Amino acid sequence: MSKAFTREPESQDDEDGDESAPPLPTGQRNYMTPAGHQRLRAEFMHLLDDERPRIVEIVHWAASNGDRSENGDYLYGKKRLREIDRRLRFLTKRLEIAEVVDPSVHHGSDQVFFGATVTYLTTRGDEKTVTIKGIDEADSLNGEISWVAPVARALLRARVGDEVWLRTPGGDECLEVVEVVYPKPAPI
């Protein structure tokens, strides 16, 4: 039988899931800021309108060159198409269930809600500042944490001056909320 008519076993990489993104809690909404929603939507449109058609063109050209079994452009192109399609499916699912929450509606509030930038003191006296964002937009290197993170869960609904308890593997830790800041509303 010709190799062209055999199907290669699908690897673990070909599943719908995206291992780089954490799963959403069961039954919960996919909260995100307007900027985070816009970034995901821009990525989706770039993959759909620019990247995928370019790769399809490369695969088409490579397929016309003959033997596909040793054609690096064809093999890489097909792999890249699978990656793009998997990411598009993931983004479609996330955007469908997204609930965009504008944190600027809480501007001036001293209570912690989604989108707040919170400064708190730990039991050891360390001062830390985090911004509570959506699962798909949080970037820990920039001080952003997901709203489902244990620290965020402990801080949500607290007010300036409140002490909340965070359960850690090393034992319970007391966090004192020092400051809560929200972005200013956009001018109308």
Tokens of 7: 């199907």
Residue 142: its H or E element: none
pLDDT in tens, 125-163: 999 999 999 999 999 999 999 999 999 999 999 999 999
pLDDT band at residue 84 under the 50/70/90 scheme: very high
Q: Which residues of 158-175 are buried (b: 16+ CB within 10 A; e: fewer)?
A: bebeeebebeeeeeeeeb
Q: What is the reported pLDDT for 22?
A: 67
Q: What is the reported pLDDT for 63?
A: 87
Q: What is the reported pLDDT for 20?
A: 59
The domain spans of the chain are 29-100, 103-181
pLDDT in tens, 42-70: 999 999 999 999 999 999 988 888 777 77
Q: Report yes or no: 104 and 182 within 8 Å, Cβ to Cβ.
A: yes
* Topology classification of domain 29-100: Helix Hairpins (1.10.287)
Tell me the chain's radius of gyration from C-alpha atoms: 23
Mean pLDDT of 21-48: 87
Q: CATH for 103-181, among 3.30.365.10, 3.10.50.30, 1.10.1040.10, 3.40.50.1220?
A: 3.10.50.30
